[in-house]
Chain A
Amino acid sequence: MTRDEIFTKVQTILVDALAVDEDEVKPESSLTKDLGAESIDFLDIVFKLEQAFGIKIPQGELFPENVASNPEYVQDGKVTPAGIAMLKARMPHMTLGAWEQDPQVMKVQELFTVGTLVRFVEAKLAAK
């Protein structure tokens, strides 16, 4: 499956899960900031990705978990260098970009874009 084909399927999933218009779903759209996703939507998206692509997504693989509550990874509301290293190692589909300069933990969710999902699915399908 090509990246474009994956994107089209992901787009359909997000239109359905988030009640947004197709043209709002661009590769660079942030799931929370631009498309209004809330926490339960992330679970909905995981279920829909599993079904659409025939993949299994273990808890914590797509979206990081237990980061905020771990003092090794977060101090004073900012993700520590160890936390950033962990995100890079465990979440290679995420693009940290300019966020690394001011790594506020509250803004981690905003880093999840449509492109993040596409890259994640691409890697999962390649590993199948």
Chain B
Amino acid sequence: MRWLWIDRIVELVPGQRLVAIKNLSLAEEYFHDHFPASGEMPATPIMPACFILEGMAQTAGILVGHAEGFREKVALAKISKAELSADAVPGQTLRYTATLQNLDALGASTAGVVELFDPTRPGEATTIGQIDLMFSHLDHNMAGLDFPAHNFVFGESFKTVLRMSGVG
């Protein structure tokens, strides 16, 4: 099973925009390592920024894949921009909004906004980041490399999220 960093797709406008959420739980193991108590410092569970990036990459990747009927093997190829201004902690929810900027046979570019919801401030979203990405369609790579025929990018775990979100 692929390590999924989104829990649910909440909006899909095909070829334009995909919105997904990620609920953060203290039961997730990585929180205990990032960061554990050390000396005088108490434990500080915050979500590593690389996992937030992966969440946006999965959100935007599904948007790009969906736009071509999941025929293409869509791979993250470049992080054009990544800015995060706040930590995300257990009990909060991240909302990723990915917007398709360009799409052609070789790949795609997306713009993304990361928002944070905290249950102590219901209904109030705080924008905490911008993550712009580029994706390559692996079978059309410029290096002329061959990849396996089956679509290993959009496997069972992604299909499960799509189905459970009512968009599969």
Instruction: Look across to chain B and name the residue whose beta carbon is closest to the beta carbon of A59.
Output: B105
A17 to B101, CA, bound (A): 15
A43-B134, A68-B144, A69-B144 known; A59-B80 Cβ under 8 A? no
Chain A residues within 8 Å of B134, by CB: 40, 43-44
- A40, B134: Cα distance in complex, Å: 8
Cross-chain contact A43 with B105 (CB below 8 angstroms): no
Residues of chain B contacted by A44 (CB below 8 angstroms): 78, 80, 109, 134
Is there contact, CB below 8 Å, between B77 and A40? yes
> B104 — which chain A residues lie within 8 A by C-beta?
43, 46, 59
- Give the CA-CA distance A65 to B77 in the complex, in Å: 19
CB of A60, distance to nearest CB on chain B (Å): 10
Chain B interface, number of residues (Cβ within 8 angstroms) = 16
Which residues 65-109 of B have a CB within 8 angstroms of A?
Answer: 77-78, 80, 101-102, 104-107, 109
B157 within 8 A of A: no
Mask, B23-52, CB within 8 Å of A = 1, is 000000000000000000000000000000
From A39, A50, A63, A66, B141 is in contact (CB under 8 Å) with A39
A60-93 vs B, Cβ < 8 Å mask (1 yes, 0 no): 0001011011000000000000000000000000
B149 at the interface (CB under 8 A from A): no
A40 & B78 in contact (Cβ 8 Å cutoff): yes
Q: CB of B1 within 8 A of chain A?
A: no
Name the A residues within 8 Å of B136 (CB-CB): 40, 43
A63 partner residues in chain B, CB cutoff 8 A: 142
8 Å CB contact of A59 from B78, B102, B106, B143: B106
The 8 A-B pairs at the shortest CB distance, nearest first, are namely A40-B77, A47-B102, A39-B142, A40-B78, A43-B106, A43-B107, A47-B109, A59-B105
Seed contacts A41-B78, A59-B106; 4 additional CB < 8 Å A-B pairs: A39-B141, A40-B134, A44-B134, A47-B101
Q: B residues bordering A, Cβ < 8 Å?
A: 77-78, 80, 101-102, 104-107, 109, 134, 136, 141-144
Q: A residues touching B (Cβ–Cβ < 8 Å)?
A: 17, 39-44, 46-47, 50-51, 59, 63, 65-66, 68-69
